[in-house]
A and B are shown apart, each in its own frame.
Chain A
Amino acid sequence: MIGGHRNHPLWLAFALHRVSGLLLSLFLPAHFLVLGLAIDGAEDLDGFLVLTENPVVKLAEFGLVFLLAVHMFGGLRLLALEFLAWSPRQKTYAAASLAGGFFIACGFLLSAGA
């Protein structure tokens, strides 16, 4: 449940980091499965990669890039928090991680659409 003592930006940043991590770990087996297709020959893989032209799959890729970027920036924030001198601007950094993730995912969508 979100609310009560969890109702503050840095708890939400934690939740986003956890959820993005879990979703990425669900994606990994599928990722390896597709890469594995290449072992049996290029046709199988190419046959599958045609799918990525589908707009729905493009949108899913946008989501994936967003998850990756937001998880990476969130992780960098945590590393800085734990290993560098304390900075009181954690909320700003958490917001910047979110914005950075969104920015990169949008950039991907635009370049992939071009």
Chain B
Amino acid sequence: MAIDTRVDSTQRTTRRRSGSSRGMNVGLPIVVFFLLLGLFYLAALYYDKAKQLPFLVPYPHLILKAVFTEPAFQTQLVQALGSTLLVAVVGLVIAVVIGMIWAVIMAQAKWLESALFPYAVVLLCIPILALVPLIGSLFGYEFKSRVIVTVLFCLFPMIASTLFGLQSIDKGQRELFQLQGAGRFTLLMKLRFPAALPSIFVGLRNAAGLAVIGAVVADQFFQRGNGGLGVLISIENQRLNGPEMYAAIFTASILGVLVFVLFNVLRRLAIGKWYDQN
């Protein structure tokens, strides 16, 4: 480590600073991870010995054992993961398409924005639980309904970020185009859309995280067909299989984190070169 820093010191100081802060980014979370693991063991011990309810909080090593040594459960877990992933991806794609179109329409005129934005806010405020029976009877208790719930989860961030991005251009830039007689479409493609990309990527990242959450939550409501991680969690819960249930919960969480990281990387690849974070 020390040698690395030495070698680096020939480069600019900013480089070195970002390098060392990345070191902290990894170091501290690892410390926290072991603290949490310790707490987990304490809790497991308490539920095992004092409460006699070991399946509520199983020992972490039992969770690992369930994942790595039970082929039958492994198959179930992988299938559930695939199903959740499919629902999340389809839901996300639909939300991205609808969200961007919605935002582009709103960005065309102030009156369109005031006419349509309230309905975007309604999306945010819908108690999805209240719609569940309706969605179920209309679209069945399988894939379609899960996707619809997922879309409801992640549509708003897409709309809001895209709209914010499209409106982020400054007056001077807009007038530069106006002076050349550029039309709406040219303005959109050559100015508004590229300018909106940083914001759109923030929206994508958040929407992707919510898509995973939405897909898992949707499983709780619509349990027929190829169940996802949410279905697996309920089943293992009913069977009082603590380690298996936790394994499914952690898989869902890790999926959410991975999706978040993936979109951060995509964002950096797409706009990192020209976009100054500050």
A and B co-occur in one complex: no
Report A's interface with B, CB cutoff 8 A: none
Report B's interface with A, CB cutoff 8 A: none
